[in-house]
Chains A and B, each alone.
Chain A
């Protein structure tokens, strides 16, 4: 069984290699090959899962050491895989949702002439993410981490002919670098502290190291997680990442990439458990981000960006839960899985809507689509109900538990976190209802298709005829079937997981679990959640359901305007980071030109001048040389005599 673990990563990696190196010959079968290999990976994952279920709880973790990568003196880096319950959960999510997105992409990218390459990148993405979650040490995890960054760069900038896409890709990559620096520093700190960076020794000996060092490691890990999972303050890349094709957004938001941060923190739980300050930082980041993302999601008219804000917010929930310690790890992962289902479903639904509406993304130009796209409507609707936490659906089970856990943190901190999560739930209900109402209900606000020559970079595959109203239609089966499957997941996953606390029992051996000491009973929390849910939905209905929606957005309040600009995140970065950076580089440039160049040129000039003087000694006349020789001989005699005299 251990040998199969390597195959999990190898299958999509092989797909990526073949598709990216294979050339045009594979254009016709490339997408099938990519999808098949993703499916193979999922099947292997399923086999391993079944095998794991058959084992005893204590004996479920598999370990596979492949080879010694960098053995240098005391430094030893191995390539080895570790498949425990946590990794297994991720493997199934990544390969399962990933395969569905592959299938969806077959239809979605049908008219793109670079489809083979797209599938190559998707496979690379899966392979990198699988490597990340299967690694048995932090260094190999870092390799996967970087691979994910690379794949996301390639995919976000897939339509590289659009400057906005190229910029978004660069932005994602650069912001991720900041987090990567955090991870690399964390790994270095681990090595200096523990002398190794394999999971098992580091995590088992974590509590023996000093708290200061652990806090430092934890904060660096948090920085890494913030970069990958788009948490405040490194959240700015996520919204722009919507420039990529919609399946990419689904993949990034549901199965890969943004979940990496949650995985990292959960995996490093032992370090955080021993560093309360780092945990506080984690929950703070999570709480801030969940509200930040939710507020941004309320103001966006772009359907994908609204969903992106939602993702940020939901990941905030997970980070918050992970920061709660053993109370929250399990629920963070559980919410991650359920979120993977419904967010993938929502994004695929959004892609389907855009596909039908000539790639229009402005929700204010949708309306009344439920009659034209019943399957999309149904799946999107189920995803919507799941994300707002409608009782019985997936989101309800996971989010409710997180809110409970937040209260269970105890003390003032618990109350603040609980309030934040509740507020977040209300806002989630509000903005998701808004998306739903604007898209599928109300009267048609369709606009003629834009001229493709004027708006560069329309998604290929849209048969847009300039000046015509869109003719919304249901998407092909390759797109609807994944949506249906994901809708099933959205509906039933949470319930299944909560049956007899199945998920808690499943993950407990890895992450540990603690029920905490909640000041409120579970029923009270659930009731509160329901109340804020109804309030959020009602507010949205009052604003967007009862009244006709203007096609052009009203000016709105200051908060709305700020939220439309992502709560001024880019302006903040510009003022705080870019400007000082520019001043610094300009100053350094000046220093380089005056001081450094001056020193270098001055040295060169002085040497040159001196040489010019010395050169005159070398006048080529043998007699001049003879004089110096003769004088030298005289000096030698003088020296000899002096020595004798002394």
Chain B
């Protein structure tokens, strides 16, 4: 190819490459336009760009081909994907047109425009061409560099200024002005005493805001998973101990009743066992740290009822309750 001057046709290999990859590029472009999800559009576009990079290489623009891949596909498309993620990756656009006549007009204008462009190109009737052989003789990158730093040096400087401006502009656009000073720790604690913890409801029935740090989940409960509320001294659950998001979704698992019931069952079985084997091992039960003895007489009966369980917890109750339950006898046994 480098020897070609005023050639009239390319190599067959390039022709094959063009028709195959050109089809891919067009399909990618159409997918970009027609895919409902922005992520798919972005990926299609990236594919098209890679094809274009290959075309650049085929046309002797080696530097541009690499830059196309690095800058476009590597940087710009990733920026796109980043923003798509930021804005919401799951949302699929409706392709239903809301503007009256917009689709027809767009298609009409597109067809007219494309036909006119093609007509213009065909009108030019370029039969021969020069090829980049002589231009690339000293190396493509060197040739470009020579042009950039001589003939186009002003444009180059100006694009530098443009890039800086764009960077600053993007920062200014996304910058959120802080309208009041940052609060000190003292002020934060004072605010909390005054209004309670932001996002935390007052403990039910108290009428007072929650001023202390919220209790950790699972305290006094048999589990310390984040979706299991801590227990208050009277055995009721402290919902503030659970993450607000889970609380909003209703994904709180109250397993306290189940644990007590399991403990009661264990003790019943232990009693049976003692009755069968004589009165040994009773001290093991007494050393149980959960204070479950206090709840045993009434807690097992009142807290754990099937109806109560169904009413308090939603239907999406995790299926791994059994695994969790399995820990309680172990803990109790220790």
Contact = CB atoms under 8 A, between A and B. Distances in A.
B113 A630 contact: yes
A581 interface: no
B99 A634 contact: no
Nearest to B117: A637
Contacts of B105: 627, 631
Contacts of B120: 637, 640-641
A627 B106 contact: yes
Nearest to A640: B120
Interface in B88-124: 99, 102, 105-106, 109-110, 112-113, 116-117, 119-120, 123
**Which secondary structure characterizes the binding site on chain A?**
helix
Contacts of A627: 102, 105-106, 109
A623 interface: yes
A641 B124 CA distance: 10
B181 to A, nearest CB: 39
A624 interface: yes
A605 to B, nearest CB: 27
A572 interface: no
Contact of B99 (A623, A640, A641): A623
A637 B113 contact: yes
A633 interface: yes
A638 interface: yes
Contacts of B119: 641
Given A641-B119, A641-B120, A644-B123, A634 B112 contact: yes
Nearest to B119: A641
B101 to A, nearest CB: 9
Contacts of A67: none
Interface in A595-646: 619, 621, 623-624, 627, 630-631, 633-634, 637-638, 640-641, 644-645
A630 B109 contact: yes
A638 B123 CA distance: 12
Given A627-B109, A631-B109, A644-B123, A637 B102 contact: no
Contacts of A640: 120
Chain A CB within 10 Å, residue with most, of B102, B109, B112, B117: B109
A87 B99 CA distance: 90
A621 B109 CA distance: 17
Contacts of A644: 123
Most chain A beta-carbon contacts within 10 A, residue among B99, B116, B120, B123: B116
A633 B99 contact: no
B19 to A, nearest CB: 27
Contacts of A623: 99, 102
Contacts of A641: 116, 119-120, 123
A502 to B, nearest CB: 103
A617 to B, nearest CB: 12
A634 B102 contact: no
B109 A638 contact: no
A631 B117 CA distance: 13
Contacts of B116: 634, 637-638, 641
A261 to B, nearest CB: 80
Contacts of A621: 99
Contacts of A634: 109, 112-113, 116
Contacts of A619: 99
A640 B123 CA distance: 12
A645 B119 CA distance: 12
Interface string A428-452: 0000000000000000000000000
B78 to A, nearest CB: 26
Given A624-B99, A630-B106, A637-B116, 5 more contacts: A624-B102, A631-B109, A631-B112, A637-B120, A641-B120
Interface of B: 99, 102, 105-106, 109-110, 112-113, 116-117, 119-120, 123
9 contacts: A621-B99, A623-B99, A624-B99, A630-B106, A633-B113, A637-B120, A638-B112, A641-B119, A641-B120
